[in-house]
Amino acid sequence: MTKSVQVRDVSKAFAGHAVLRGVDFAVEPGKIAALLGPSGCGKTTLLRAIAGFDRIDGGEILIDGARVSGSGSHLPPEKRRVGYVPQEGALFPHLTVAGNVGYGLKRRERTRERIGAALALVGLEALMERYPHQLSGGQQQRVALARALAPGPKLVVLDEPFNGLDLDLRRSLCAEVTAALQRAGASAVLVTHDPEEAFASADVVAVMQEGRIAQQDEPRAVYRRPASAAVARITGGAIFLEATVTGAAAETPLGPAALVAAPPQGDGRASVCVRPEQIVLGAPGQAATVVERSFRGDHDLLTVTVGERRLSVRAPAHPDSGLDAIRLRIEGPCVAFPPVA
C-alpha cells in the first residue's frame, strides 16, 4: 500500500552542522505518527522538510507516492497540500476565526458551511467571529488545527502543538486533536519531546536521536522494548541495574528479572533497564533500607539503598512518614543492554 509519507535516507545540514543523518521514516494512510526526541535531535527539521519549508541535502521524500523532495527537485510548500500546525498555533492576528479557517480555501469554497464544518471537527463552530486574541490558548490551537484541516489535506504535520499549555489542557487537547484528525481521516506527523503525549496520541512512535530514527514502533513496543539505552531514557523513566544475564533471565541487585528476549550480545554482564513501575514493594524480595521518604500527594517517593545502590522508588502514600526496612522486587520483563564500560 502507498505510504502517506515516505522519507528515505534524508540528510540535511545547517552551516556545516549535520542535523539529519540518513532518516528513514514512513506513515501509513490514516495513521498518526509521533516524532519523539530531545530538543536538537532534528525532529522539527524533519517536519519542516516534509512540509516543504526547508530543502533537503540528500535522500528523498514522497507524499502519497509522489516525490516532493529529492534529487535536486523541491516542490514548494503551497503545492504539497500538507496541513501545518506550528507551535503556539500562529493564528493570523488580523483575521477572525472564520477568516483564519477560510484562508486556505478557494474563494468560492469559502462559505460559512465549509468553514463551519472545519470548525465542527474541533468543536468551535460558535467562535467564528472572534479574533485570535479573544481565544484561550487551547482554543487557538484547535482553530489552528481546523485551519490546517479545512482544505482537506491527506497529511497534517504538527510541531509541538501543545507546548506552552498547562498539563490538564495538554491532556484533554491531545485527545481532542487525535479525535479530530481521525474524523478528518488525515494522516499526521506530530513532533513532541513529551513521551506521554506521543504515546497518548500516536499509532506509531518514531524515536529520534542525533539526526536518525533510533526506533519506530507501536507506543507499547517502544516503551517495553526500547532499542537502546538512549531510547529507553527518551521514552520515559528508566533505571539501569548492573546484572548478570543467563539466556532470557538476569540476576540484578534487586533479585531476579525476566528479559523480553535473550540479548544479542549473549550471556554475561549486562545493564538491565527497568521501568520505575516495575519495581514493586513487598515480600518476597530483596531487603532495602529507606533513607528518605518524600511526600508527593498521591504517592510517596522513597530513596532507598540496596547494598551500595541508591534508588528512587514510588510507594503508596503512607500515613506515617517513618523510615524503615522494606523489600523490593522486579515485576514483568525487562531489556538488557551491553554493560556500561
Partner 1 sequence: MSLASRRWESAPPLWLALAALVPCLLIALPLVYVALRASEAGAAGVAAELIRPRTLELLLNTVALGVSVTVISSVLGVAAAWCVERSDIPFRPFWRIAAALPLAVPAFVASFAWASIDVAFQGMAGAILILSLSHFPLVYLPVAAALRGMDPAFEDVSRSLGRSPARTFFGVVLPQAWPALGAGALLVLTHMLAEFGALALLRVQTFTTAIFASYELQFDSATAALQSAVLLALTLPAAFGEMRLRRGVRVSRSGRGARRTQRAIALGRAKPFVLAGLAALIALSTAVPAGMLVYWAAVGASTTRGLPDIWPAIGGTLSLALPGAVIVTALALPLVLAAIRHPGPASRLVDRLPYVVHGLPGVVVALALTFFAIRFLPDLYQTSALLFAAYAALFLPLAQSALRASVELAPPRLEEVARSLGKGPFLAFVSVTLPAILPGVGASLALMTLELARELTATLLLAPIGVTTLATEVWSRANDGQYAAAAPFAALLVALSALPVYVFTRRSLELHDL
Task: Compute the least distance from the CB of residue 90 to partner 1, in Å.
Answer: 4
CA angle 195, 208, 20 (to 5 degrees): 150
Distance CA(63)–CA(171), nearest Å, equals 30
Alpha helices in the chain, H assignment, sequence order: 43-51, 97-102, 112-121, 137-149, 167-184, 195-201, 219-224, 229-234
All 3 cell numbers of residue 163?
507546548
Assess 52 for contact with partner 1 (CB under 8 A): yes
Which residues within the stretch 160-189 sit at the binding site for partner 1 (CB under 8 A)? 160, 163-164
The reply on whether position 147 binds partner 1 by CB under 8 A is: yes
The residue among 210, 212, 192, 211 whose CA lies nearest residue 202 is 192
Q: Residues touching partner 1: how many (CB under 8 A)?
A: 33
Strand order in the sheet with 82-85: 82-85, 155-159, 187-192, 32-36, 204-209, 212-217
Looking at the Cβ atoms of 90 and 238, the one nearer to partner 1 is 90
Q: Are 50 and 5 in contact (CB under 8 A)?
A: yes
| 41 is a contact residue toward partner 1 (CB under 8 A) | no
Q: Which of 24, 19, 20 is nearest to 9 (CA)?
A: 24
Helix/strand/coil for 296: coil
Judged by CB under 8 A, the residue of 16, 72, 76, 297 near partner 1 is: 76
Using DSSP, state whether 46 is helix, strand or coil.
Answer: helix
118 scored as a contact of partner 1 (CB under 8 A): no
Looking at the Cβ atoms of 50 and 241, the one nearer to partner 1 is 50
Site string for partner 1, 192-231 (x = CB under 8 A): ----------------------------------------
Indicate the length of the chain as a whole number. 341
Pick one of 13, 18, 75, 90: the residue that binds partner 1 (CB under 8 A). 90
Among 37, 59, 70, 83, binds partner 1 (CB under 8 A): 83
Determine which residue in the list 59, 104, 138, 195 makes contact with partner 1, applying CB under 8 A: 104
Cβ closer to partner 1: 109 or 242? 109
Q: Does 19 bind partner 1 (CB under 8 A)?
A: no
In sequence order, what DSSP letters do the residues of 205-234 get, joined into one string? EEEEETTEEEEEE-HHHHHHS-SSHHHHHH
Radius of gyration of the chain from its Cα atoms, rounded to whole angstroms: 24
Check residue 190 for interaction with partner 1 (CB under 8 A): no
Interface stretch with partner 1, choices 92-100, 170-178, 180-188, 251-259 (CB under 8 A): 92-100
Least separation in angstroms between CB 60 and partner 1: 20
Does 13 interact with partner 1 (rule: CB under 8 A)?
Answer: no
**H, E, C per residue of 108-164:** HHCCHHHHHHHHHHCCCHHHCCCCHHHCCHHHHHHHHHHHHHCCCCCEEEEECCCCC
Instruction: Choose which of 1, 15, 94, 322 interacts with partner 1 (CB under 8 A).
Output: 94
Which of 87, 228, 244, 278 lies at the binding interface for partner 1 (CB under 8 A)? 87
Residue 51 as a binder of partner 1 (CB under 8 A): the answer is yes
CB-CB contact of 307 with 298 (8 Å):
no
Check binding of 148 to partner 1 (CB under 8 A): yes
Interface with partner 1, residue 137, by CB under 8 A? yes
240 lies in the binding site for partner 1 (CB under 8 A): no
Q: Which residues bind partner 1 (CB under 8 A)?
A: 48, 51-53, 76-84, 86-95, 103-104, 137, 144, 147-148, 151, 160, 163-164
